[in-house]
Amino acid sequence: MGILDRFSLDKKVVLVTAGAGPLFGKSISEAMVEAGATLITASRSLERNLVFAQGLRDLGYDAHGMELDITKPDSICSLRDEVRRKFGRLDVLVNSALARVGGSFETQTPEDWSYSAQGDMVGLFVICKAFLEDMVLRRKGSIINISSIYGVVANDPALHGASGMDHPPHYDFVKAGMVNFTRHIATNFGKKGIRANCISPGGYLEDQPKAFVDSYCARVPVGRMLENEDIKGAAVFLASDASEYVNGVNLMVDGGWTAM
């Protein structure tokens, strides 16, 4: 098998949570089908996932939309059961879903943190546990968790303050914890055939205020924000057999932000 063949996801079944939404999920979903995978995309809006999957099928890809509320364990288990019935297995789990909470340190409430914890901590644990069982039986599987540069370094208050944007503090807490949780899976399940890795992207360009974009681009070594194509290669690499000996890694896709 040549090296390019090892990057192929042909015959692999891949689930991307929040894979039809904006930001990283949609980019990763596109990458998976472009590499040959059978894609399942799931989030709270079943309609959005069905429409997105149909659009990919219209382009000749194998894509399917399902429903998932990452804050509800019963929803996670229902998704697992549906994947089992329809495909018989899952080869790659990409955890991109986030229990979205806005606000700043001054405005966030304990209830905001509780809601985040239900999805971003409990939900992450439950979905990994739900799909790990079958992966372990097959002794093969890849889990990819989508963290952030803010799971590794603190945000720059001046960067957000100048644009009037808030940076929610729970986000840093969640993303940092995700990185070490990934290592826990990697070290405890590696001998059972499971690989677990993180991708930590930099800031994604999505109609932010010009002041923020300009400040961000001035600071990051590559001089621009992350765009749709930038995360695709990292996702396919970690999902594919090309990364068969890569386990417990937090892959920075940040244009050099954390190198400074």
Could you tell me the CATH number of the domain that includes residue 30?
Answer: 3.40.50.720
Could you report the per-residue pLDDT of 115-127, keeping only the tens digit for each?
Answer: 999 999 999 999 9
Mean pLDDT for 226-241 is 97
Could you report the per-residue pLDDT of 170-209, keeping only the tens digit for each?
Answer: 999 999 999 999 999 999 999 999 999 999 999 999 989 8
| Torsion of Cα atoms, 20 then 206 then 177 then 249, to 10° | 80
Domain assignment present for residue 258? The answer is no
Mean pLDDT for 14-20 is 97
Q: Residue 161 — pLDDT band, cuts 50, 70, 90?
A: low
Structurally, the chain folds into a number of domains equal to 1
Domain assignment present for residue 259? The answer is no
Q: Say how far apart CA 92 and CA 37 lie, in whole Å.
A: 10
Q: What is the mean pLDDT of the chain?
A: 95
Domain assignment present for residue 215? The answer is no
Q: Report the pLDDT value the prediction gives residue 38, as an integer from 0 to 100.
A: 98
Q: Report the pLDDT value the prediction gives residue 22, as an integer from 0 to 100.
A: 80
Domain assignment present for residue 58? The answer is yes
- Domain of residue 92 covers 3-157+168-207+228-250
Mean pLDDT for 85-93 is 98
Domain assignment present for residue 221? The answer is no
Closest CA to 251 of 242, 33, 37, 219: 242
Domain assignment present for residue 80? The answer is yes
Q: Report the pLDDT value the prediction gives residue 1, as an integer from 0 to 100.
A: 79
Report percent pLDDT > 90 for the chain: 89
Domain assignment present for residue 8? The answer is yes
Query: Comparing 26-30, 36-40, 163-167, 233-237, which segment has the lowest mean pLDDT?
Result: 163-167
Q: Report the pLDDT value the prediction gives residue 162, as an integer from 0 to 100.
A: 65
Q: Report the pLDDT value the prediction gives residue 164, as an integer from 0 to 100.
A: 73
Domain assignment present for residue 223? The answer is no
